[in-house]
Amino acid sequence: MNQTVFPQNPTASKARSSPADAELVHSLDLVIGGMTCASCVGRVERALRKVPGVQDASVNLATESARVSYGAGQAPAAGSWEAVLSRAVRDAGYEARPAEQAAEAGPVSAWAGFAPVAVGLALSFPLVLPMVTGWLGLPFMLPAWLQFLLATPVQFVLGARFYAAGWRAVRAGAGNMDVLVAVGTSAGWGLSVWLWLTGSAGDMPHLYFEASAVVITLVLLGKWLEARAKRQATAAIRALHALRPATARLLGDEGEVEVPIAEILVGDVLVVRPGERIPLDGVVRQGETQVDESMLTGESLPVAKSPGSALSGGSINGDGRIVLDVTAVGTETVLARIIRLVEDAQAAKAPIQRLVDRVSEVFVPVVLLVALATGVGWWWTGAAMEIAVMHAVAVLVIACPCALGLATPAALMAGMGVAARHGILIQDAQALELARRVDTVLFDKTGTLTVGRPRLMHVSGAGLAGGTDDVAGLLVLAAALQGGSEHPLARAVVAHAQAQGLPSIQPEQVRAVAGRGTEGVVEGRTLLLGSLRWMDELGLPAGPWQAQAQAWQSQGCTVSMMAERVDGEVKGLLAMAFGDEPKPGAAQALAALKARGLRIVMVSGDNRGAAEAMARRLGLDPAAGEVEGEVLPADKAARVAAWRQAGHVVAMVGDGINDAPALAAADVGMAMSNGTDVAMQAAGVTLMRGDLALVGAALDISHRTVAKIRQNLFWAFAYNVAGIPLAMLGYLSPVVAGAAMALSSVSVMANALLLRRWKP
């Protein structure tokens, strides 16, 4: 893999106060404690968005995090952004800490640890035992005072978190899961105490201590299982963090010295022994080896490295000792940027989540009204007060919207995590959701479908300039004109001239003509080098070179011309034919996409003949409209827009700077990581290696992830839609309702984690 330099996300920087930055948008990550359901998410988001200067806020229940966007030129009224935003979250009834502090302090989740669950199970078991023995025909009942002693610690010690969080929510003028649990279990416990104290001496009334204790215990158990599932869902991020070694071997005047990674600077020289992880990005100075880059690219085969080869931190050195020059440290390394991209993607919200957000805004108040109506209705129809209260409690418990808040983010975390493990970085949740609907895939040719290292195959100058200049001399002029260009064809000209041992000269007044070629002055001669289309636009007279150019094009070559401007006229000097090779496996990858029912189109700036010749080698049919040639870079975005206007959902796959507008214009942009930073910044998906099979894999994991989201939302809604009426009609006891509520959250997380088994 080539050294990949990901674009720096401008929103990740700290705010500056200069007016020049006023229009920039920066972001801040917070860890939010105390959230339990989708209602909590909506309330925290509203609190953050009310802070002056905040442009947007996105809260993720699964990661217990928030990302706040604000204007770089704006400053809070008092204090820092961290302090002001944390205050807003606390006023809403929750706790917030900057992500950096949270990482050092450990998780803030109140549900961490099995000890509360174990205590709850131990205290609840004796309360449930009479129910079990009654089913077996061995009825007995614990004394009321003993039931009270067992249930009260569960209610007010283990359940204290529900009261605290619920009170904060009520004080903030909202409701959440904690309110429902606290109200429901308190009603059950209070009813039991009332029946005990008001009962006749010697009578043993039916008490409901077991209902309140078991519900709290089951909720705690569900939250513990949910927390375990969350840790599994974030395994991809933790695995990436684990790739960074703590120390490196610095080569200095005193030999090899082991120093912390934080002390390494760009330009330092490091030694990596066989079997060690490469600590930072760099370039091989000495030695040859094989490097395992599978954790970064998903490619299982080791990659050969020699002097001049790029290295990525986190990869594993093979059997050779190497010396490398450090090229990037800290947040600028490939690994750090990959981690940032995955975190950004997992923190984002898919468009489908908006439905959940709208529902959660009114869910808890509606449930409280439904529970009240249930209790009043049963009492009104003649049921005993305790029966009416128990039915109302069951409604409160079964309706807790935990699963609703987890349905979407849990699937996103699992899907994006497994995709990253296989070399697919999904940077945009919206792109992930749209990818399942893609029906047309447009491919750039050079560097995407082809190797991207064209060679100068044929050169001809005879008959172009009266034979006054020899071909070697013309190649010197062409190489001088192309020396400063990064275009693949320009590099091919320079490489050919160097291989021939031709001298190097300096050009003057060189300028690039977008989509056409290069113009400049070499040794006093005004030269133009570019496509045949440009030469036609310049009015280059027809000549004997045309037949030769057509012959080269029929062979799949790309033909360029160097011409000279003399007294306002243009005359041809040199015709050059460039050949490229399809990427290994490209034809098979395209065939697989077509087998999925997708329309495949190659979009190339080459003349139609050369483009069609390469298309045939890739298994594409020009007669079926699967090739678009002579498309200028500036027109690629227009071609994407045209396909979209025709009613198609379009994915664009490219790698170069000239592909960036098209990648941004597509419904789903996919950039090859061996391309440019600009292309990757414009795309919603980055493919970490040049294997075109990853295009189909990206579409597949997107389809599967969205399917999991829809399944999760179905089950989350189904639990409530089915459970609430059953509880209202008296078919669900509070204990069964508590078990169902815990099961709903766990089942949603478990279903999402099935994505971890996916393989491309």
In total, the chain counts a number of residues equal to 760
661 sits in the region (left: phi over 0; alpha: psi -120 to 50; else beta) called alpha
Residues in a beta bridge with 511: 519
DSSP 8-state code for residue 756: G
Residues contacting 30, CB < 8 A, separation 6+? 65, 66, 67, 68, 82, 85, 86, 89, 96, 97, 98, 99
- Tokens representing residue 396 in the block: 């409160």
Residues contacting 289, CB < 8 A, separation 6+? 274, 304, 305, 317, 318, 319, 320, 321, 322
Residues contacting 649, CB < 8 A, separation 6+? 434, 437, 438, 439, 440, 667, 668
User: At 736, which amino acid appears?
Assistant: V
Find the catalytic residue in 281, 428, 444, 580.
444
Helices (H), 94-208: 99-105, 115-135, 144-153, 160-171, 177-198
**Nearest-angstrom CA–CA distance, 494 and 483:** 6
Q: Where are the beta strands (DSSP E) in 557-696?
A: 558-566, 569-579, 599-603, 627-628, 650-654, 668-672, 685-687
Half-sphere exposure of 393 (CA within 13 A, CB side): 30
pLDDT at 203: 62
pLDDT at 9: 38
**Nearest-angstrom CA–CA distance, 738 and 216:** 8
User: CB count, 10 Å around CB of 304?
Assistant: 12
pLDDT at 695: 92
Is 656:680 a contact under the CB 8 Å cutoff? no
Dihedral of CA atoms 287, 292, 295, 298 in degrees, nearest 10, equals 120
Write out residues in the chain with pLDDT < 50, as ranges. 1-23, 103-110, 465-468, 675-676
**Nearest-angstrom CA–CA distance, 734 and 217:** 12
The three-point CA angle 272-278-279 to 5° equals 105
User: CB count, 10 Å around CB of 674?
Assistant: 17
Half-sphere exposure of 353 (CA within 13 A, CB side): 26
DSSP 8-state code for residue 330: G
In tens, the pLDDT along 190-217 reads 878 887 887 666 566 667 787 778 778 8
Residue 627: exposed, middle, or buried by beta-carbon count in 10 A (0-12, 13-18, 19+)? buried
pLDDT at 468: 43
pLDDT at 106: 46
pLDDT at 205: 66
- Tokens representing residue 566 in the block: 């003399």
Is 605:474 a contact under the CB 8 Å cutoff? no
DSSP 8-state code for residue 607: -
**Nearest-angstrom CA–CA distance, 89 and 241:** 28
pLDDT at 15: 34
Phi, psi (rounded to 5 degrees) for 62: -65, -40
User: What is 56-84 written as a DSSP string?
Assistant: EEEEETTTTEEEEEEETT---SSS-HHHH
Helices (H), 483-562: 488-499, 532-538, 545-554
User: CB count, 10 Å around CB of 673?
Assistant: 25
- Is residue 273 helix, strand or coil? coil
667 tagged catalytic: no
- Of 578, 576, 491, which is closest to residue 529 (Cα–Cα)? 576
Is 615:627 a contact under the CB 8 Å cutoff? yes
